[in-house]
A and B are shown apart, each in its own frame.
Chain A
Amino acid sequence: MAVVIVLAYVLTRTKVFATMMKKQAMNWRQQAGLILVFGIFSIFGTLSGININGAIANIRDLGPAIAGLVGGPLVGFGAGLIGGMHRYSLGGLTALPCSAATVLAGLAGGLINQFHKREFITIQGAVIFMAFFEAFHMGLNLLMVKPFDQIYVIIKNVSLPMICTNALGMGIFVFIIHNLVREKETQEQKELIESELTVAREIQMSIIPKIFPPFPERLEFDLFAVLEPAKEVGGDLYDYFLLDNDHLCFTIGDVSGKGVPASLFMAVTKTLIKAKADIRLEPDEILYAVNNELCADNDSGMFVTEFLGILTISSGEIVYSNGGHNLPYILRKEGTIKMLPRMAGMALGVMEEIPYNQARVKLNPGDSLVMYTDGVTEAMNESGKLFGEERLEKILVGLTNHTAREEVEAIMRTTREFVQEAKQSDDITILVLQFTGGK
Chain B
Amino acid sequence: MDIKEAKKNNATLIMLEGRLDSSTSGMLEKKLLSLMETGEKNFLLDFSGMDYISSAGLRVLLMAAKKSKTAGGKVLLSALTDNVKEVFDIAGFTGIFTIFATAEEALKDF
Contact = CB atoms under 8 A, between A and B. Distances in A.
Interface of A: 254-258, 299-303, 305, 323-327, 342, 344-347, 350-351, 374, 378, 425-426
Nearest to B88: A324
A378 B54 contact: yes
Interface string B62-104: 1111100000000000000000000001111101100000000
B30 interface: no
Interface residues of B, number: 23
B17 interface: no
A426 B21 CA distance: 10
Contacts, number: 68
Contact of B93 (A258, A299, A302, A346): A346
B92 A346 contact: yes
Most A CB within 10 A of own CB, among B23, B62, B63: B62
Given A257-B59, A303-B59, A303-B91, 9 more contacts: A299-B66, A300-B59, A302-B59, A303-B62, A326-B90, A342-B89, A346-B93, A350-B92, A374-B54
A256 B55 contact: yes
B48 interface: no
Contacts of B55: 254-257, 303, 305, 347, 374
B58 interface: yes
A347 B91 contact: yes
Given A257-B22, A305-B91, A426 B62 contact: no
Given A257-B56, A303-B58, A425 B21 contact: yes
Contacts of A374: 54-55
Contact of B96 (A325, A342, A350): A350
Contacts of A257: 22, 25, 55-56, 59
Contacts of B60: 301
Contacts of B59: 256-257, 300-303
A324 B92 CA distance: 5
A350 B22 contact: no
Contacts of A325: 90
Contacts of A302: 59
Most A CB within 10 A of own CB, among B58, B89, B96: B58
B58 A256 contact: yes
Given A256-B59, A301-B66, A346 B95 contact: yes
A375 B85 CA distance: 19
25 contacts: A254-B55, A255-B55, A256-B55, A258-B56, A301-B59, A301-B61, A301-B64, A301-B66, A303-B55, A303-B91, A305-B91, A324-B90, A324-B91, A324-B92, A324-B93, A325-B90, A342-B89, A345-B92, A346-B93, A346-B96, A347-B55, A347-B93, A350-B62, A350-B92, A378-B54
